[in-house]
């Protein structure tokens, strides 16, 4: 199966690749890669799984359809498919920048590769996660 791996740092995508492999093995591989870059003295290490419901237009490769069926959620409606995808976010360089402000500097997002439209969606999300919000007036982020 094809697996999408997106890495973003400081508000920009620095890596976006489609790999062949078993989905959960790819997730474990990237957890290991991220943990080797993680500095436990300054950052949390967080792996979050989310099930994302998305509408997909157009036809999908047979292998992708079979995977989505095996995962358990695939509904057809008016020319589009509604699918539920497992999506993992690995955050390994993050910091508190205030009492309740948290910034993620580096993340991986890993999801089954479905099509280029969803690739763009995940790239946008990865860049957004790592974009630091502007600080209130008089406060500088370092």
Segment among 1-5, 6-10, 138-142 with least mean pLDDT: 138-142
pLDDT, tens only, 31-66: 999 999 999 999 999 999 999 988 887 777 787 778
Q: Is residue 51 part of a domain?
A: yes
Residue 38: domain span: 2-129
* Within-domain flag for 7: yes
Separation of CA 126 from chain center? 6
What average pLDDT does the segment 119-140 reach? Answer: 77
- Asked whether residue 137 is assigned to any structural domain, the reply reads no
Query: The pTM is what?
Result: 0.86
Residue 141 has pLDDT above 70, yes or no: no
In a domain? residue 138: no
């Amino acid at each position: 199966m094809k697996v999408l791996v997106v890495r973003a740092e400081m508000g920009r995508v620095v890596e976006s690749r489609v790999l062949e492999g078993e989905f959960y093995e790819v997730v474990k591989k990237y957890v290991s890669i991220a943990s080797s870059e993680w500095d436990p003295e300054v950052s949390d290490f967080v792996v979050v799984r989310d099930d994302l419901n998305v509408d997909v237009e157009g036809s999908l490769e047979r292998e992708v359809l079979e995977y989505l069926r095996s995962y358990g959620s695939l509904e057809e409606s008016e020319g589009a498919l509604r699918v539920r995808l497992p999506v993992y976010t690995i955050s390994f360089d993050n910091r508190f920048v205030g009492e309740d402000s948290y910034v993620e500097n580096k993340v991986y997002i890993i999801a089954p590769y479905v099509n280029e439209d969803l690739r763009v969606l995940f790239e946008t999300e990865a860049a957004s996660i790592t974009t630091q919000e502007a600080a209130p007036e008089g406060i500088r982020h370092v």
